[in-house]
Amino acid sequence: MIELLITCVYTLACVGMGQLALSALAGHEWPPLSASSTPHLAGRFILGQAVLAAIWVPIGLVGWFGPVVIVGTLATVIGLSASQLFPLLRNTLSWVRSFFKWLRGERVGVQLFAMALALLIFEFGAAAWIMPPRGDAEAFYIPYARVIAATQRIELMPGPYEYLSSIGLMGELHFGALISLANVSSAKFFVFPLAVSAAAMLVAICSEAGVGRMGRMIAVAMLFTTTAFTHHIFDGKTDLFPTALGLMAVWLLLAAGESVPVRTAYAVAGLCTGFALMAKFSYALGFLPAVCVFLVWRQLTNGTSIVQVSGSKFRSGAMVVFAVCAVAATVPHLAKNAVLFSSPLAPFLGGSEDKSWLNQAWFTPEVTRRIVLSYPFALVFGRYPGQSGNLSYLLLAFLPLAAWLPRPTHLSKSKLTELCLAGAIGTISWIAVRPSMIAPRYYLPTLLLFYPLAAKAAEQVLIKEAPFRWLGAGIMAILLSALAVFSYPLLPAVRQVPNALLGRLDPCVLASPYCEPLITMNRQAEPGDRIYFAGYYSNWLRTDLLQCRNDLADSQALETATDAAGRWAMLYARGFRYVIIDNTSRLPIVSLLDPSTIPPWLNVNEILKTKELSVLRLSNRAHDQKVERDCVQDASHMWHVKRVS
Amino acid sequence: MTNRESPELQVGDRSDESSLRMPVVIKALLLAWMGANAFIFVAVSISPDWPIATVLPELMLRARHVLLSLFIN
Q: What is the pLDDT of residues A480-499, one digit of tens each?
A: 999 999 999 999 999 999 99
* pLDDT for res A309: 46
**Looking at the structure, do residues A481 and A520 belong to the same domain, yes or no?**
no
* pLDDT for res B50: 63
Of A58-67, A77-86, A276-285, A381-390, the poorest mean pLDDT is in A381-390
| Residues of the domain holding A612 | 515-643
* pLDDT bucket at B3, cuts 50 / 70 / 90: very low
Beta strands in B1-73 (DSSP E): none
Using a CB–CB cutoff of 8 Å, tell me whether B22 touches chain A. Answer: yes
pLDDT of A172 over the 70 cut: yes
| Residues of the domain holding B61 | 22-72
In a domain, A578, yes or no: yes
* pLDDT for res A370: 85
Judge: B30–A471 Cβ closer than 8 Å, yes or no.
yes
* pLDDT for res B62: 74
Using a CB–CB cutoff of 8 Å, tell me whether B27 touches chain A. Answer: yes
* pLDDT for res A625: 76
Q: Which residues in chain A are contacts of B11 at CB distance < 8 A? A: 210, 405-406, 456, 460, 464
* pLDDT for res A555: 86
Rounded Cα distance between A540 and A143, Å, is: 8
Residue type, position A546, single letter: L
Judge: A381–B60 Cβ closer than 8 Å, yes or no.
no
- The maximal CA–CA distance of chain A, rounded, in angstroms, is 90
**Looking at the structure, do residues A309 and A262 belong to the same domain, yes or no?**
yes
The CATH number linked to A574 is: 3.40.50
* pLDDT bucket at A635, cuts 50 / 70 / 90: confident
User: A608 — phi, psi (to 5°)?
Assistant: -150, 140
* pLDDT for res A303: 43
Which residues are paired to A629 by β-bridges?
A: A643
| Structure confidence by residue, pLDDT tens digits, A205-251 | 999 999 999 999 999 999 999 999 999 999 999 999 999 999 999 99
In chain B, what are the helix, strand and coil shares in percent, each to the nearest 5?
A: 70, 0, 30
Which residues are paired to A581 by β-bridges?
A: A534, A614
In a domain, B58, yes or no: yes
* pLDDT for res B10: 41
Rounded Cα distance between A299 and A289, Å, is: 15
In a domain, B34, yes or no: yes
**Looking at the structure, do residues A170 and A298 belong to the same domain, yes or no?**
yes
Beta strands in A434-544 (DSSP E): 530-534
User: What's the domain count of chain B?
Assistant: 1
Rounded Cα distance between A483 and A115, Å, is: 10
- Which among A168, A337, A349 is positioned nearest to A245, based on CA atoms? A168
* pLDDT for res A168: 92
Over residues B41-67, the mean pLDDT reads: 69
Q: Which residues in chain A are contacts of B16 at CB distance < 8 A? A: 464
* pLDDT bucket at B17, cuts 50 / 70 / 90: low
* pLDDT for res A560: 84
3-state class (DSSP) for residue A613: strand
Rounded Cα distance between A547 and B47, Å, is: 40
Q: How far apart are the first and last CA of chain A?
A: 49
Most A CBs within 10 Å, among B18, B37, B52, to test the A interface: B37
Which residues are paired to A533 by β-bridges?
A: A580
Closest-CA residue of B relative to A252 is B2
**Looking at the structure, do residues A611 and A522 belong to the same domain, yes or no?**
yes
Percentage above 90 pLDDT, chain A: 66
**Looking at the structure, do residues A395 and A538 belong to the same domain, yes or no?**
no
Task: Judge whether A254 and A208 are in contact, CB under 8 Å.
Answer: yes
Over residues B31-37, the mean pLDDT reads: 93
* pLDDT for res A390: 93
Over residues A620-636, the mean pLDDT reads: 84
Domain boundary among A423, A456, A490: A490
Task: Judge whether A219 and A455 are in contact, CB under 8 Å.
Answer: yes
pLDDT of A129 over the 80 cut: yes
Mean pLDDT of chain A: 90
* Higher pLDDT pick, A264 / B61: A264
| Structure confidence by residue, pLDDT tens digits, A288-315 | 999 999 999 888 875 444 444 444 555 6
Sheet arrangement for strand A613-620: A530-534, A576-582, A613-620, A602-609
User: Who contacts A250 (Cβ-Cβ below 8 Å, separation ≥6)?
Assistant: A201, A205, A290, A291, A294, A419, A422, A445, A449
Q: Which of A378, A413, A481 sits opposite B57 (nearest CB)?
A: A378
**Looking at the structure, do residues A533 and A600 belong to the same domain, yes or no?**
yes
* Higher pLDDT pick, A415 / A346: A415
Closest CA of chain A from B7, distance in Å: 8
* pLDDT bucket at A131, cuts 50 / 70 / 90: very high
* pLDDT for res A308: 47
Judge: A460–B2 Cβ closer than 8 Å, yes or no.
no
pLDDT of A149 over the 70 cut: yes
SS (H, E, C) A322-373: HHHHHHHHHHHHHHHHHHHHCCCCCCCCCCCCCCHHHCCCCCCHHHHHHHHH
Over residues A52-75, the mean pLDDT reads: 97
DSSP A143-171: HHHHHHHHHTS--PPSSTTGGGGGS--HH
In a domain, B8, yes or no: no
* pLDDT for res B47: 66
Using a CB–CB cutoff of 8 Å, tell me whether A474 touches chain B. Answer: yes
Domain boundary among A490, A525, A544: A490
Domain boundary among A490, A524, A549: A490
Q: Which residues in chain B are contacts of A416 at CB distance < 8 A? A: 9
Closest-CA residue of B relative to A399 is B34
**Looking at the structure, do residues A393 and A277 belong to the same domain, yes or no?**
yes
* pLDDT for res A49: 98
| Structure confidence by residue, pLDDT tens digits, A433-469 | 999 999 999 999 999 999 999 999 999 999 988 777 8
Calculate ∠ Cα B64-B65-B70, nearest 5°: 95
Judge: B57–A397 Cβ closer than 8 Å, yes or no.
no
Which pTM value belongs to this model?
0.91
Percentage above 70 pLDDT, chain A: 95
pLDDT of A479 over the 70 cut: yes
User: What's the domain count of chain A?
Assistant: 2
In a domain, B17, yes or no: no
In a domain, A495, yes or no: no
- Which among A220, A202, A199 is positioned nearest to A394, based on CA atoms? A220
* pLDDT for res B71: 66
Q: Which residues in chain A are contacts of B5 at CB distance < 8 A? A: 207-210
Judge: B14–A400 Cβ closer than 8 Å, yes or no.
no
In a domain, A382, yes or no: yes
In a domain, B38, yes or no: yes
* pLDDT for res B9: 40
3-state class (DSSP) for residue A210: coil
* pLDDT for res A351: 74
**Looking at the structure, do residues A478 and A530 belong to the same domain, yes or no?**
no
3-state class (DSSP) for residue A564: helix
**Looking at the structure, do residues A527 and A436 belong to the same domain, yes or no?**
no
Judge: B9–A209 Cβ closer than 8 Å, yes or no.
yes
In a domain, A504, yes or no: no
Q: What is the DSSP letter of A141?
A: I
Over residues A379-398, the mean pLDDT reads: 91
Rounded Cα distance between A292 and A425, Å, is: 9
In a domain, A282, yes or no: yes
* pLDDT for res A561: 82
Cα radius of gyration (chain A): 26
Q: Which of residues 373-392 of A touch B (CB under 8 A)?
A: 373-374, 377-378, 380-383
* pLDDT bucket at A366, cuts 50 / 70 / 90: confident
| Structure confidence by residue, pLDDT tens digits, A546-555 | 999 998 889 8
**Looking at the structure, do residues A283 and A391 belong to the same domain, yes or no?**
yes
* pLDDT for res B1: 36
Judge: A471–B12 Cβ closer than 8 Å, yes or no.
no
